[in-house]
Amino acid sequence: MSKVATMREAVADLVRDGDTVAIEGFTHLICFAAGHEIIRQGRRDLTLARMTPDVIYDQMIGAGVARKLIFSWLGNPGVGSLHAVRRRIEDQEPGPLDVEEYSHFGMVCRYVAGASNLPFFPIRSYFESDIPAVNPRIVPITSPYEDGDEVYVVPPLKPDVTIVHAQRADRDGNAQIWGLLGCQKEAAFAAERVIVVVEELVDGDVIRRDPNRTVIPGIVVDAVVEEPFACHPSFAQGYYDRDNAFYLAWDAIARDPKTLEGWLQEWVYDLGSHADYVEKWGAEHWASLKPGPAPSGEVDYGMYA
Amino acid sequence: MSKVATMREAVADLVRDGDTVAIEGFTHLICFAAGHEIIRQGRRDLTLARMTPDVIYDQMIGAGVARKLIFSWLGNPGVGSLHAVRRRIEDQEPGPLDVEEYSHFGMVCRYVAGASNLPFFPIRSYFESDIPAVNPRIVPITSPYEDGDEVYVVPPLKPDVTIVHAQRADRDGNAQIWGLLGCQKEAAFAAERVIVVVEELVDGDVIRRDPNRTVIPGIVVDAVVEEPFACHPSFAQGYYDRDNAFYLAWDAIARDPKTLEGWLQEWVYDLGSHADYVEKWGAEHWASLKPGPAPSGEVDYGMYA
Amino acid sequence: MSGYTKNELMIAASARLLTGVENCFVGVGLPNIVCNLAQRTVAPELQLVYESGVFGARPRRLPLSIGDPTLATGSTAITSMFELFAFYLQAGLIDVAFLGGAQIDRFGNLNTTVIGDYGRPKVRLPGSGGACEIAIHARQILVIMRQAERSFVEELHFRTSPGHSGDPEHDRARGWSGSGPTNVVTDLATYGFDEETGEMTLRTVHPGVALDDVRANMGWEPRVSPDVTETPRPTDEELRLLREELDPQGMYTK
Amino acid sequence: MSGYTKNELMIAASARLLTGVENCFVGVGLPNIVCNLAQRTVAPELQLVYESGVFGARPRRLPLSIGDPTLATGSTAITSMFELFAFYLQAGLIDVAFLGGAQIDRFGNLNTTVIGDYGRPKVRLPGSGGACEIAIHARQILVIMRQAERSFVEELHFRTSPGHSGDPEHDRARGWSGSGPTNVVTDLATYGFDEETGEMTLRTVHPGVALDDVRANMGWEPRVSPDVTETPRPTDEELRLLREELDPQGMYTK
């Protein structure tokens, strides 16, 4: 059963005001196009979850879609700060932002617990750290075995919607990813609704030729959106490079609420879709981000008939 | 640093009397050649761990290497019973066998806990089952969160030695597997010592062309053994088929301790190595198990220089 | 084609229980044929899932085991067993699973562990495998078993996998993803489970089988549905599919 | 080549701490250059591990972030972040990791969370990322930081990642895979940690830096090693590698 939709349709159908939304992808495969569409459709009061809020959540929070942030590392990777988020937290400008923070491993394990229908997940972290003191959802428990070791547990995180990007998927939503995997699988399985955005929609036979490459099965997917370059300025391994220049440029854009607002107007509100965004950047820009070839080689599954 | 060894060297160096040994692989990639070498070298008092003891542990237990079995499903898959194991349990013949049993998910989670340095792993299983009554290591604990849900926990399983088979690895032990993955990764990370046996030793560049295919990293591997057809009568996806006829034949062989002993004499003790075993079966047999081609296709990681 | 074997009847009756089902945890043997027949008749969208970690298998031959290489080649996804049990099964994504056992009781509890005493069993059976967690988390459990007094018992020697508790107030606690056994298909009859009490209830008797035969082959006096009928025979099309396409050698249908 | 920058000195001093190390959790910026220099000098077997899930990376360019695509292509293994944190880090397989922060105290505890009050911070810093569990489980922690009175503090505003407890009886409990911070490299000096008390101890002072400069730029009176010496200068070969091969644009070395 085909789940193919446009980004506009997928966001309109599946992302609702007040939802907990996770757009996951650790540096790699961050679906900026979905964030832009959520901004364009004017969603409000979202709780945004991500290990690394990254520039995408700085844009979304700058645009006013969120009331709360769940995260583990709040920065512009390799550059510095997320200024829009910092203004909300430090100056409560233009209003306060609830924060709930973990370490990376804690966030990952929250998704694992959510994906696994577990009431909690144990980890050996947070010892002698102040993090549990400011987040009462991180609690110690004691091993029932002879060791009696104390560990901490984190609660499941079950987003209302998880949005992930993959290099390719079939029309049923069976998605394959290579390169960095982050926690997309766990975040997708943990969610009530899942949108998979891909560089390329492919025939089911392409997926079935290499079933070990499938990271997210269609069974958990509600909508599949084909949207090339949807991760820019993040990247899709083998398709285009990270636009580090944009990450650096964002620092100046976001420092001033006015330039941020101007950027949103020009690059989100004034555009009808991600296709317009791709066109506005221009073919030369995309050509400059194209990597050389590095083929994986292939393996043989064997035909057993 | 090369870890390449012969099977004889690897077993002599790394498998010791009294060890807890896990030869993992769920139906797929069960390393019979390692089991045969352990029999040949006369190891004793082993605790054998495996989700599905399969014919390999029936052979090893029939040969007297073990005092204890940790498992979750005790049968000849698709055929019936493991008669040598049943004689030890039902008739204590030629002596008793300690058993410690879990469900599949419990065994998997024991390896995950062992691999993760966790003192326990929670699962929602064993409710209203008699299994915890006969295995006091499966204990209930209560969620510290509002739900107050009761779950069961299982303890970590940390084998002294885990032996896994892979289609290919480089000389450092970085191993790639396709087809069924079972719990080999978890069992390898959980172990103190790891032997990886492969159909083909390959150049490190072959591994590096497709890093997402790597299941077991060399960092946890102590020895790499190149031993084609080492899984027979189990199989290696893309290399050779499961020898279902042998699984069926084993039922009759193992029913009588005398025929079992005769089989061990002919196929294990009288042979110097797995190469002799391969030769004794003959080229025609191996040709009959060869599948047709089913190539995976390849993906592009992109060269980012 | 009016003649058919007992197995063919059991397979056809079981396959019809999969009407419209989207995915199913498959075992080897009869359940495998049942699912293949259902895919070609009442459940064209049915995805075959194997506890070995395969989703959306398209076997090109009858697999002897749930780890047959033909299940991996051409499947939609292969996953580690941890993920299969945690993310798919425990999370409630599996619609239907087949279970069986050496013993079943009136509430659908199953024994696949021992006949006799656990410490010194008369017969050591395989144990749980994934059955314990499958019984808890698959949305619906279908049981296929041969019926006999020694297997349909008043009291199990060992409860490996939970069915219904017999206590309507406390059946299937929160955190259990599944609703438990819903149907039993034997070589004599088919059963459902009473929604209130969770008790196995005779629904249909196979053609040529007397109600007394059914009663004689179980260890308790069965609850009988007020509208008990005869089990529908396999149709010509079902028999053709079984004999010509799915099991031409009659491995499972004879 | 007798001239060198402060960064070049810090990089060279840090790289020598990796002598013979087999694997290292790498961050971006200075630690990345440090590891690359060590691979070419004192640790030819060094495997670069990134918390983004890459093992055995061979970057063909200087990565701006720990998720740069150049880290994935040609690496030995890519793993989910769950497995990286659980199977590699928590299990004690990581030999060395680099950490830094806005504040450090005399026991090597680090603050990367807030300056000021947590609820209404003066400066909201990035938070833990993986630092909290890295501090607990990497076998050895190396800290690279610029030294100043406001960052080397008597009392942290927030303890994100644990160093040593200051209580020799109860330092680094069972289940912690790591032994905590062993070295700190700043732009003024290098430090070790006392094996008994876990207290940061001045070991070497950089050429041209006075002991009083070191003291003036920290919030407590430092323990000084009895055999405190001058930090060795970068060798010509180290400088050549840095300038010609590793960072020809001087992104991190200037």
Tell me the nearest-neighbour CA distance from B50 into chain C, angstroms. 11
C28 vs C72, higher pLDDT? C72
The interface predicted TM-score of the complex, written ipTM, equals 0.97
Crossing angle of helices B83-90 and B257-264, rounded to 10°:
130
Indicate whether B117 pLDDT > 60: yes
CB spacing of B179 vs A212 below 8 angstroms: yes
Asked if the C-beta of B16 comes within 8 angstroms of chain A's C-beta atoms, the answer is no
Distances (CA, A) of B249 to A152, B80, C6, C34: 51, 11, 27, 27
Categorize the per-residue pLDDT at C143 as very low, low, confident or very high, splitting at 50, 70 and 90. very high
| Most A CBs within 10 Å, among D79, D136, D157, D161, to test the A interface | D136
Indicate whether C172 pLDDT > 90: no
Nearest to B78 among C65, C174, C175 (CB): C65
Categorize the per-residue pLDDT at A1 as very low, low, confident or very high, splitting at 50, 70 and 90. low
Q: What is the pLDDT of residue C252?
A: 83
| CA count, 13 A, side-chain hemisphere, B298 | 14
The pairing of strands D103-104 and D110-111 is antiparallel
- Tens-place pLDDT, residues B219-254: 999 999 999 999 999 999 999 999 999 999 999 999
The mean pLDDT of D27-43, rounded to a whole number, is: 89
CB spacing of C74 vs A211 below 8 angstroms: yes
Query: Looking at chain C, which residue has its C-alpha nearest residue A1?
Result: C45
The Cα A55–Cα A77 span in angstroms is: 9
Which residues in chain C have Cβ-Cβ distances shorter than 8 Å to A219? 22-23, 47, 55, 88, 93
Nearest to B236 by CA among B295, B294, B162, B168: B168
Indicate whether A6 pLDDT > 50: yes
The mean pLDDT of C98-118, rounded to a whole number, is: 97
Task: Give the three-state DSSP class for D230.
Answer: strand
Tell me the nearest-neighbour CA distance from A176 into chain B, angstroms. 10
Distances (CA, A) of A299 to A19, B110, B209, C55, C71: 42, 31, 12, 20, 17
| Most A CBs within 10 Å, among D32, D49, D58, D64, to test the A interface | D64
The mean pLDDT of C102-117, rounded to a whole number, is: 97
- Count contacts between A and D (CB, < 8 Å): 169
Which residues in chain A have Cβ-Cβ distances shorter than 8 Å to B241? 302, 304
- Tens-place pLDDT, residues D79-96: 999 999 999 999 999 999
Give me the percent of chain A exceeding a pLDDT of 90: 99
| Most A CBs within 10 Å, among C73, C80, C96, C245, to test the A interface | C73
Nearest to C128 among B86, B103, B179 (CB): B103
b/e burial code for range B50-87 (CB count within 10 A of at least 16 → b): bbbbbbbbbbbbbbbbbbebbbbbbbbbbbebbbbbbb
Nearest to D80 among A52, A90, A183 (CB): A183
- Tens-place pLDDT, residues D53-85: 999 999 898 888 888 999 999 999 999 999 999
Categorize the per-residue pLDDT at B154 as very low, low, confident or very high, splitting at 50, 70 and 90. very high
Query: Has C221 been annotated as catalytic?
Result: no
b/e burial code for range B200-231 (CB count within 10 A of at least 16 → b): ebbeeebbbbbbbbbbbbbbbbbbbbbbbbbb
- Tens-place pLDDT, residues A207-241: 999 999 999 999 999 999 999 999 999 999 999 99
Question: How many Cβ atoms sit within 10 Å of the Cβ of residue C47?
Answer: 24
Averaged pLDDT score across all residues of chain B: 97
Backbone angles phi, psi at C51, to 5 degrees: -65, -15
Categorize the per-residue pLDDT at C2 as very low, low, confident or very high, splitting at 50, 70 and 90. low
Q: Which two tokens stand for residue D149?
A: 């009175």
Categorize the per-residue pLDDT at A183 as very low, low, confident or very high, splitting at 50, 70 and 90. very high
Nearest to A241 among D28, D69, D174 (CB): D69
Q: What is the pLDDT of residue D65?
A: 85
Indicate whether C4 pLDDT > 70: yes
Which residues in chain B have Cβ-Cβ distances shorter than 8 Å to A147? 119
Indicate whether B283 pLDDT > 80: yes
Q: What is the pLDDT of residue D1?
A: 47
The pairing of strands D114-116 and D121-124 is antiparallel
CB spacing of C124 vs B180 below 8 angstroms: no
Task: Give the three-state DSSP class for C145.
Answer: coil
Indicate whether D170 pLDDT > 90: no
CB spacing of C90 vs A301 below 8 angstroms: no
CB spacing of A74 vs D69 below 8 angstroms: no
Indicate whether D143 pLDDT > 90: yes
Categorize the per-residue pLDDT at D2 as very low, low, confident or very high, splitting at 50, 70 and 90. low
Categorize the per-residue pLDDT at B63 as very low, low, confident or very high, splitting at 50, 70 and 90. very high
Cβ–Cβ under 8 Å, residues A51 and A23: no
Stretch (H or E) spanning A152: strand A150-154
Nearest to C128 among B108, B109, B131 (CB): B131
CB spacing of D76 vs B189 below 8 angstroms: no
Q: What is the pLDDT of residue D194?
A: 94
- Tens-place pLDDT, residues A60-111: 999 999 999 999 999 999 899 999 999 999 999 999 999 999 999 999 999 9
Q: What is the pLDDT of residue D168?
A: 75
Give me the catalytic one of D8, D22, D51, D199: D51
Task: Give the three-state DSSP class for A148.
Answer: coil
Q: What is the pLDDT of residue A164?
A: 98
Q: What is the pLDDT of residue A82?
A: 98
The mean pLDDT of C225-249, rounded to a whole number, is: 94
3-state secondary structure D7-64: HHHHHHHHHHCCCCCCEEECCCCHHHHHHHHHHHCCCCCCEEEECCCEECCCCCCCCC
- Tens-place pLDDT, residues D204-215: 999 999 999 999
CB spacing of A301 vs B237 below 8 angstroms: yes
Indicate whether B291 pLDDT > 50: yes
Which residues in chain C have Cβ-Cβ distances shorter than 8 Å to B124? 90, 133, 136-137, 175-176
Indicate whether C1 pLDDT > 60: no
The Cα B102–Cα B116 span in angstroms is: 19
CB spacing of C52 vs B27 below 8 angstroms: yes
Interface of B with D (CB under 8 A): 1, 112, 115-119, 172, 174, 185-186, 189, 204, 207-209, 211-212, 214, 217-220, 301-305
Indicate whether C164 pLDDT > 70: yes
Categorize the per-residue pLDDT at C28 as very low, low, confident or very high, splitting at 50, 70 and 90. confident
Indicate whether C249 pLDDT > 60: yes
Cβ–Cβ under 8 Å, residues D36 and D164: no
Q: What is the pLDDT of residue C70?
A: 95
- Tens-place pLDDT, residues B256-268: 999 999 999 999 9
Stretch (H or E) spanning A230: none
b/e burial code for range A38-52 (CB count within 10 A of at least 16 → b): bbbeebeebbbbbbb
- Tens-place pLDDT, residues A163-173: 999 999 999 99
- Tens-place pLDDT, residues D96-129: 999 999 999 999 999 999 999 999 999 999 999 9
Q: What is the pLDDT of residue C201?
A: 98
Tell me the nearest-neighbour CA distance from B249 into chain D, angstroms. 40
- Tens-place pLDDT, residues B131-141: 999 999 999 99
B14 vs C31, higher pLDDT? B14
Backbone angles phi, psi at A49, to 5 degrees: -115, 135
